[in-house]
């Protein structure tokens, strides 16, 4: 795990594990040129960004992050719905 860039603890590691996602996969999806899908404020007033990214083996992940100081905190990560995967893939084709 990249502790210099990401804020991990038992809570967020355990939460993404419920979705069969590892911290390494979430980081890889975020560091590999993800597509920003959304931004919203949480009930607590915390900014949350939603990204779709891909791991090296080709797994698509929807990753929701916030910031804690200088680091990214993964709030959750899971398999995106098919429509979001297609939006991500279309954006990559358009970048070429």
pLDDT tens for 8-57 read 999 999 999 999 999 999 999 999 999 999 999 988 888 999 999 999 99
Please indicate whether residue 69 or residue 20 has the higher confidence score (pLDDT).
20
Q: Identify the residue whose tokens are 């797994």.
A: 59
Q: What is the pLDDT of residue 72?
A: 95
Return d(Cα 11, Cα 61) in angstroms, integer.
19
- pTM, rounded to two decimals: 0.92
Q: 10 Å Cβ neighbour count for 8?
A: 18
């Amino acid at each position: 795990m990249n502790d210099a860039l990401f804020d991990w603890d038992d809570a967020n590691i355990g939460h993404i594990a419920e979705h069969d996602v590892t911290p390494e996969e979430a980081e890889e999806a975020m560091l590999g040129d993800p597509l920003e899908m959304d931004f919203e404020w949480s009930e607590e007033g915390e900014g949350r960004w939603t990204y779709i990214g891909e791991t090296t083996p080709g797994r698509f992940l929807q990753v929701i992050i916030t910031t804690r100081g200088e680091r990214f905190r993964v709030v959750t990560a899971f398999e995106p719905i098919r429509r979001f995967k297609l939006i991500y893939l279309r954006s990559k084709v358009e970048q070429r």
